[in-house]
Structure 1
Amino acid sequence: MKSAYEQNLEKTLFSMLSGEALEVARLICNDEEIHEWQELSNTVSIRRLGYNDHGPVHMRKVSINAMSMFNILIEAGIKPNLVKEDTGSYEDSRIAVLLAAFLHDIGMAIGRANHEMSSFILSERIIDRILKAVFPKQLDRRIAIKSVALEGIIGHMTYHAITSLEAGIILVADGCDMEKGRSRIPMLINQESRVGDIHKYSSSSVESVTISKGTEKPIKISVEMTASVGFFQVEEILIGKIMASTIKEFIELYANVIGRDTKRYL
């Protein structure tokens, strides 16, 4: 059963979409198989491995982040690859980004190692099923959307080089989900020191991550934290994803401890 928080995130996501993209969003948010994979991914991540949230809340937040950045880039006149290469429309690109964001971590249900590949394999059939429901007679659209969605999934850990703008959005959208709520449950469950704790403690100090329009570049990402340990999330996680992303040239990145001077990275 979905939590109230998940339902509120879905309302936010739906408010950012219309037309076919909204139809896809409603389908994936209410798909029983997807939800079960997301729930199991979270259980394995938190209870078995002691990592932070990799479940339904995380994947909904990444979807919202991705749609925010996608909309800003399109408004700035930047074309996604499906449009630039005449293989799809803006709506196709938007749907591809949405699918990748919503499914990118379901492979955590199998384990952390190579989970982007596990997610790729598990998502392939699910994407087919969702797209056939929306575009039953448009094989060319389904293949174009699926190709970019799968690229976004397999590339979200930076180990697999990506080339499309759509896939590049997923890298950054994923890295931006580092607010303190993501580490709350593993912090409560496990009080013993263990390898990987820096991810929990650094994330717990991040108060907010804001995605908005930039002044010099299209996208501005602002990170506010309560302690300097939060810079680990920015410098070791987010910047790495941005630098591996096809949208890095469009991003301004700022971070600060509340009450102190703001540091500009990009």
Structure 2
Amino acid sequence: MKSTYEQNLEQTLFAMLSDEALEVARFITNDEEIHHWQDQSNAVSIRRLGYNDHGPVHMRKVAINAMNMFNILIQEGIQPSIVKEDTGSVEDSRIAVLLAAFLHDIGMSIGRQNHEISSFVLSERIIDRILNTVIPNQLRRQITIKSVTLEGIMGHMTHHAISSLEAGIILVADGCDMEKGRSRIPMLISHESRVGDIHKYSSSSVERVTIEKGAEKPIKISIEMSASVGFFQVEEILIGKIMASTIKQYIELYANVIGRDVKRYL
């Protein structure tokens, strides 16, 4: 059963969409199989391995982050790769980003190592099922959307080079889900120190991540934190994802401990 928080996130996402992309989002968020894959990913990530959230809430937050950045870039006249290459429309690009956002971490259901590859394999059939439902009998569109979706899934850990703008959005959208709520459950159930705890402690100090239109560049990302340990999330995770992303030239990045000077990274 969905939590109230999940449902609220869905309503936020739906308000950002229309037409076929909205239909895809409604399909994904009500699909039983996808929900179970996301739940299993969370069980493995949090309870077995002691990592942060990689389940339904994380996927919805990544989707919101991605759509926020996607919409800003479109408003600024920046074409996604599918449009630039004349293989599809803005709507096709938007659908590909949505699908990748919701499916990129389902491979965590198997384990952390190479989970982007596991997600790739597990997602193939699911993507086909969604596209055959929402845009049936349009094989060329389906192939274009699927290829870009799979690139976004495969590339979200920076281990595999990406080339599309759409996949670059997924990288940054994933890295931006670092607010303290993501580490709440691991912090509650963890009673022993272990390697990797820095991810939980650093995330728990991040109070707010804001994505909005920038003054100098299209996208401005601002991170506010309660303690300096939160800079680990920015410097060791988010910046690495941005630097590997095809949208890095469009991003301003700021971070600060609340009450202290703001540091500009990009």
Shorter chain as denominator, the TM-score bin is over 0.9
Give me the CA root mean square deviation.
0.3
Mapped to 2, the partners of 1:145 and 1:135 lie a distance apart of: 11
TM-score (norm 2): 1.00
Q: Does 1:46 align with 2:29?
A: no
Instruction: Write the distance in 2 (CA, Å) between the matches of 1:48 and 1:56.
Output: 17
Deviations 1:172-197 (CA, angstroms, capped at 9, x unpaired): 00000000000010000012100110
CA distance in 2 between partners of 1:244 and 1:229 (Å): 23
Aligned to 2:177: 177
Question: Residues 113-192 of structure 1 correspond to what in structure 2 (within 5 A)?
Answer: 113-192=113-192
How far is 1:137 from its partner?
Answer: 1.1
SS at match of 1:86: coil
Report the Cα offset of residue 135 of structure 1.
Answer: 1.1
- For 1:111 and 1:137, the matched residues in 2 are separated by 35
Determine the C-alpha separation between the residues in 1 that align with 2:60 and 2:97: 12
Match of 2:16 in 1: 16
Separation in 2, partners of 1:100, 1:148 = 8
Alignment pair present for 1:92 and 2:92: yes
Task: State the secondary structure of the residue aligned to 1:185.
Answer: helix
Aligned-partner Cα distance in 1 for 2:180–2:80: 32
By how many angstroms is 1:65 displaced? 0.2
State the Cα distance separating 1:237 from its structure 2 match. Answer: 0.2
- Aligned identity (percent) is 84
Structure 1 runs not aligned, ≥5 long: none
Equivalent position amino acid for 1:231 in 2: F
2:228 counterpart letter in structure 1: S
AA at the equivalent of 1:111: G
* Structure-to-structure mapping, 1:180-219, within 5 angstroms: 180-219=180-219
1:136 & 1:74 partners in 2: Cα distance?
A: 26
Aligned to 1:102: 102
Q: Distance in 1 between matches of 2:205 and 2:6?
A: 22
What TM-score does the superposition give when structure 1 sets the normalisation length? Answer: 1.00
Q: How does 1:60-79 map to 2 (within 5 A)?
A: 60-79=60-79
> Which one-letter code corresponds to 1:19 in the other structure?
D
Please give the alpha-carbon distance, in whole angstroms, between the structure 2 residues aligned to 1:262 and 1:23.
40
Determine the C-alpha separation between the residues in 2 that align with 1:222 and 1:26: 29
Paired residue total = 266
Distance 2:187 2:24 in 1: 34
Q: Which residue of 2 aligns with 1:57?
A: 57
Tell me if 1:3 matches 2:14.
no
